[in-house]
Amino acid sequence: MVNIDYDYYEPLIKEKQTNEKNGPVKQAKSCDALYKSGKTTTGVYTIDPDGQGDFQVRCDMTSTPGRGWTIFQRRVDGSVDFYRDWADYKNGFGKLTGEFWLGLDKIHRLSANGQNVLRVDLENIQNQARYATFGTFTVGNENEGYILSIGQYTGNAKDSMSYHNGMKFSTKDVDNDLYSGQCSQIHKGAWWYDSCYHSNLNGEYPAGVAWSAFTGNVKTSEMKAVCHH
């Protein structure tokens, strides 16, 4: 028997029923497009970035005035196991109402046009909040190893991400890092490891969730993008 997480699926079912009743509805391409259409409440929405099929996302409508951010990674309490294999990171896991990874295929679709900004919001166990933004952001497709490409850093968290620029994604069963060992297995996570990391936001909660330039263990993290479609 398949266990369906209705926290995740029920809103999409309701929206499809509404669409069938009222006729075809063209989905927004991003959370930013939703914000500009008047959807200004943070929550779960349905988008279709490229016309290849819609899916649900969590939108942050409050971090910056006038912008809607599409969240693709969220850690808040350690309730979801992030030490997972390639297939899980490809497809996504968790609950959009809690902790989740959206899925590398979807992140690629969100970022494929190259006109994106990456934002990382962090809070440590001392309840200090920091953020980092990167002026461009793309994730390649699976054949490219979901390679990460980011632009210039700004923010107050200091830069623990540019070290990973140009790296392919690695999981416990797929090793794309440059280390002689296997970073994912050593550090119990999945990331764009080099040899091995300056950041590791998918690491074992809480001690392994790291942004090395930010003092103290990371308690909460959100990775999100503004996609200018």
**Is the pLDDT at 14 greater than 80, yes or no?**
no
Query: Is 128 inside a domain boundary?
Result: yes
Write out pLDDT tens, residues 18-60.
444 555 568 999 999 999 999 999 999 999 999 999 999 999 9
Write out pLDDT tens, residues 87-99.
999 999 999 999 9
Query: Is 82 inside a domain boundary?
Result: yes
Nearest to 135 by CA among 116, 121, 149: 116
User: b/e string for 173-208 if b means 16 or more Cβ within 10 A?
Assistant: ebbbbeeeebbbeebbbbbbbbebbbbbbbbbbbeb
Q: What is the pLDDT of residue 29?
A: 95
Strand partners, 121: 131, 222
> Residue 66 in contact with residue 29, Cβ under 8 Å?
no
Structural domain count of the chain: 1
Mean pLDDT of 111-116: 91
Q: What is the pLDDT of residue 2?
A: 35
CATH number at residue 153: 3.90.215.10
| Structural domain boundaries, residue 141 | 31-167+215-228
Q: What is the pLDDT of residue 25?
A: 67
The percent of residues in the chain predicted with pLDDT above 70, rounded, is 88
Query: Is 199 inside a domain boundary?
Result: no
Query: Is 74 inside a domain boundary?
Result: yes
Query: Is 105 inside a domain boundary?
Result: yes
